Amino acid sequence: MSEEITGKKSSVILGIGSYVPEKILGNVELSQKVETSDEWIYSRTGISERRIASDKQSTSDLACLAAKKAIRNAGIGVEQIDLVIVATITPDMSFPSTACLLQHKLGLNQVACFDLEAACSGFLYSLDVADSMLSSGRYKCALVIGAEKMSSIMDWEDRTTCVLFGDGAGAAVLSSGGEGPELLGFRSGADGSNPTLLHQPAGGSLKPASPNTIREREHFLKMNGREIFKSAVRVMEKATRELLADHSLDLADISHVIPHQANVRIFESMAQRLEIPMEKFFCNLDRHGNTSAASIPLALDEAMRTGLFKTGEFAVLVAFGAGLTWSATLVRF
């Protein structure tokens, strides 16, 4: 049936896994660091707490722990993996890629590895890319990871951003054959006309590190929350509608929506505009905050472990991120 819908054989998710650091930073504790309160944060975002990696943990460390769980759950050996994609905006270093560092930590063969940077849409972009590479026949088994140490780029003096983000990683093992949830289709896009809505001003070739960029705190994440909110709702609705139209499905055919975990008010606005009950939206935002590229796989892993999905149900995974990027994925369980 998947080939009837998509016109090609679907990639499947053989296994999924996630990892979050042990340290929990709750709103009350955070309010002792910056002028805010539990009520202010929760009422505006739906976030109660977030996980924070230790100083000794890097993004590749988080990715490695999530990847090991996904590989174990897939029931395969590491020698079967022939492609690794890591979605992140907080790499261990500019180069080499976090994927190459992860390859070594996992003891993988000398397979193709690269990072993909599409911010919070990164994991879904990576699924899209991995699915295409698997469908070419040149690759058989892909490890796709979204991993972030967002605490490393937070300005802990800026209450408008530091309250929103957390650290974590989620991973999926994809195969061109086998049993598991099917990736039926994708819709990805971007609008780079206003990059400063959400960005890290310094540290790249445009504005290399200097005493001035450090003094001006330009190596931290900066965001125009109001404009991002409006853009996020619009592009996620657009991507969802286009994705379903591509596969001749109606909104009523969708049993679950796994949205990027950024703000509960975005979920509410999407639900209203799409006329989908809020009960169909999966949310773990309250316990993790916004983990950027790790957000979707963290939520998907948790939803699958709780037995949320029934055989044959359709779900839409949908995200937006800095760029502005957006992506939606259609899954059948």
The three-state secondary structure class of 5 is helix
Pick the closest to residue 328 from 126, 188, 118 (CA basis): 188
Q: What's the pLDDT at 36?
A: 94
Residue 79: which residues within 8 A CB-CB, separation 6 or more? 108, 109
Q: Give the DSSP letter of residue 10.
A: P
Residues 129, 151: Cα–Cα separation, whole Å: 27
Structural tokens at position 7: 């016109």
Q: Considering the domain 184-332 in this protein, what is its CATH number?
A: 3.40.47.10
Q: Considering the domain 2-179 in this protein, what is its CATH number?
A: 3.40.47.10
Instruction: List the chain residues with pLDDT less than 50.
Output: 1-2, 4-6
pTM of the entire structure?
A: 0.96
Q: How far is the first Cα of the chain from the last one, in angstroms, to the nearest whole number? A: 12
Give long-range contacts, CB 8 A cutoff, 24+ apart: 99-103: 99/145, 101/60, 102/60, 102/63, 102/64, 102/67, 102/145
Q: What's the pLDDT at 1?
A: 39
Q: In what order do the strands lie in the sheet with 314-321?
A: 112-116, 83-87, 141-149, 167-175, 11-19, 182-190, 325-332, 314-321, 254-259
Q: What's the pLDDT at 207?
A: 97
Apex CA 39: angle with CA 33 and CA 40, to 5°? 70
Residues 124, 127: Cα–Cα separation, whole Å: 5
Q: What's the pLDDT at 251?
A: 96
Residue 90: count of CB within 10 angstroms of its CB: 23
The three-state secondary structure class of 24 is strand
Residues 151, 53 contacting (CB under 8 angstroms) = yes
List for the chain the helix, strand, coil content (%; round to 5): 40, 25, 35
Q: What's the pLDDT at 2?
A: 47
Structural tokens at position 81: 């993996």
Strand bridging mode 83-87 / 141-149? parallel
Structural tokens at position 90: 């907080």
Apex CA 83: angle with CA 77 and CA 86, to 5°? 105
Active site residues: 120, 260, 290
Q: What's the pLDDT at 177?
A: 85
Residues 52, 147: Cα–Cα separation, whole Å: 13
Q: In which residue ranges of the chain is CATH 3.40.47.10 found?
A: 2-179, 184-332
Residues 47, 27 contacting (CB under 8 angstroms) = yes
Query: Residue 85 belongs to what H/E stretch?
Result: strand 83-87
